[in-house]
Amino acid sequence: MTRPFLRTKGIATRLLVIAVLPASVMFLTVTATLYTLAQQDVRRDVATRGQLVATALAQSSQYGLVSGNTAYLRTTLRHMIEADPGIACIDITDAAARPVVSDCQSVKPTEVETFEVPIRIELLPEVDQFEPIPVPSRAGPLRAVGTVRVTMSPAPIFESKRRALLVAFAFVLAAAVLSCLIGLRLAQRLRRTLGSVMAALRDIRQGRFDVKLTTDHEGELGELQRTIVQMAGTLNASRHELEQRVAKRTQQLQEAVDLARQADAGKRRLIVHSNAAVEEERRRIAMDIHDHLGAALISVRLEASALVARARFRGDAEMEGEAARIAATAQSIYATTRDIVKRLRPEVIDTLGLAGAVEELVRHADQVHPVARFTFQAEPGLPHVRGELAMPAYRVAQEALNNIVKHSDATLTSVTLSAQPEAGHLRMVIQDNGRGFDTESPHSTGIGLIGMRERVAAAGGELLISSKPGQGTTVCVTLPLPLPARTSTDR
């Protein structure tokens, strides 16, 4: 029970227990030992005195008992009882155990011890009265004529030793009190030392390493204080070194972040430039195909049509058929060329703007995939964005719709365009009810998604893709709106 008690107490309580407990245990132990020894001495004294009194009375009452002088015996007993208060009672009986004389103290004690000694006398030899009495060479046989019973009480004897016992207890108590005072004094000094040590440790725990301790103590306490001071100095030096290393590392990380930002900005500029170059090259290729290849195909188709007319006029059915097939092939190649031109550079971007171009994409996807439903919605007040400014959003919508057609198995897809003039942003949301995918999976990011992210990031926008298996996919694109041109009235 002491250990759990001390575990919940502070150092002051523990030192108090250490100072007082040994002295208290010593006092109780010595007091109990003295009391036990005093009781044992009293019992030995009672046994010795009782046996001695009984033996003395047995010898002195021989002839009084034989002669029947009870007055003498009674007087002797009274003197013995008055002389020794430890004698509680004395009884003398004859050989037949009949009481002869008895005397007791006025107050009967509760604890007594009884001692019995027989009263014996010598047997006289039978001799002739006229013969001289021979001198015996040794004592004759003894005959018991009675018994002396002495009852002793240890209380009076113990009472006579009580004063000496109390004096001994007083000395022991004084020694215990002195030991407690000395222990308390030493515990107080130890508590002050340990208190300063604990205060220094608290400062160290809170990050204050400039501790000051007196290290003039000897032994373990002095070694403990010196160790704490040395530890605080080492920790302080380590902290300064760590702070310098952290500051240096922070500076290096900041420089690395700046370089990464510069590299990212450079990469975005490069992507913007590359996208612009690609779009420009696509525009040039589309114009070349449209101007040269398209014109050549139209010329081939016209020549084939003229050849069909001449063959029909001449009645050459075989030549007419061959010329008709050439005209049809030229027309098919021309249609394919027109489709390629549209993909390379959509004309609707320049004529109808972003909203019209995206709506054309949605309408085309809805026509070529009759199983799936594609819808488009543009909020009122949407700014008219066209040309190169509309190209990033258009390309993202084009890639997203292609992915839906190829991979999602969706039955319903919606495309919404909205503007946030207060934030200067254009927002496009493409949502489908397809099978979706795990966006955290490393296999969920394809070249198309990477291209979408890079294109949007290069334009200074943000692309968010949320999807779960079996719950469809939502692509949200936020792009900065171009600043309106300032007129003369605005200046």
Give the pLDDT band (50/70/90) at residue 127: very low
What SS3 class is residue 206? coil
Residue with the larger pLDDT of the pair 80 and 220: 80
Q: Which two tokens stand for residue 237?
A: 């030096």
Question: Which DSSP string corresponds to 196-214?
Answer: HHHHHHHHHHTT-------
For the record, the structure tokens of 477 come out as: 């694109």
Residues of the chain above pLDDT 70, percent: 81
Strand pairing partners for 89? 104, 151
Mean local confidence (pLDDT), 393-419: 87
* pLDDT surpasses 50 at 158: yes
Beta bridge partner(s), residue 102: 91
Nearest C-alpha neighbor of 143 from the set 119, 116, 117: 119
Asked if the model's pLDDT at residue 11 lies above 70, the reply is: no
Nearest-angstrom CA–CA distance, 389 and 276: 10
DSSP 261-285: HHHHHHHHHHHHHHHHHHHHHHHHH
- 79, pLDDT greater than 70: yes
| 330 confidence band (pLDDT: 50, 70, 90) | confident
Phi then psi for 445, rounded to 5 degrees? Answer: -105, 110
Per DSSP, the three-state class of 97 is coil
Look at residue 487 and tell me whether its pLDDT is greater than 80. Answer: no
* pLDDT recorded at residue 412: 92
In the predicted structure, residue 490 carries a pLDDT above the cut 70: no
According to DSSP H, which parts of 289-373 are helical?
A: 294-314, 317-344, 347-351, 353-368
pLDDT at residue 1 tops 50: no
pLDDT of residue 267: 66
- Percent of the chain residues past pLDDT 90, beyond the cut: 4
For residue 216, pLDDT beyond 80: no
What is the model's pLDDT at position 155? Answer: 82
More confident residue, 68 or 389: 68
Element (H, E) at 242: helix 219-288
> Who has greater pLDDT, 241 or 107?
241
pLDDT of 64 strictly over 70: yes
Mean pLDDT throughout 364-378?
Answer: 86
Does pLDDT of 140 surpass 70?
A: no
Q: What is the mean pLDDT of residues 264-285?
A: 66
- Kindly report the CATH class assigned to 352-480: alpha beta
What are the domain boundaries of the chain? 2-123+141-177, 352-480
The secondary structure of residue 471, as a DSSP letter, is S
Give ∠ CA 62-157-173 in degrees, rounded to 5.
165
Give the CATH number of domain 2-123+141-177: 3.30.450
434, 401 contact by CB (below 8 A)? no
Amino acid at 299: S
Q: Which residue has the tokens 């002095």?
A: 222
**Token duo for residue 23:** 């002295």
**Spatial separation of the C-alpha atoms in residues 260 and 376, rounded to whole Å:** 39
Which range (71-80, 248-257, 327-336, 459-468) has the least confidence? 327-336
C-alpha closest to that of 66 among 100, 115, 90, 102:
100
**Averaged pLDDT score across all residues of the chain:** 78
Residue 485 clears pLDDT 50, i.e. is over it: no
Full-prediction pTM beyond 0.75? no
Cβ-contact 247, 254 below 8 angstroms: no
Q: What is the average pLDDT across 452-466? A: 84
Q: What is the end-to-end Cα distance of the chain in Å, rounded?
A: 91
Under the banding of pLDDT at 50, 70 and 90, the label for residue 145 is confident
Residues counted in the chain: 491
The average pLDDT across 241-262 equals 86
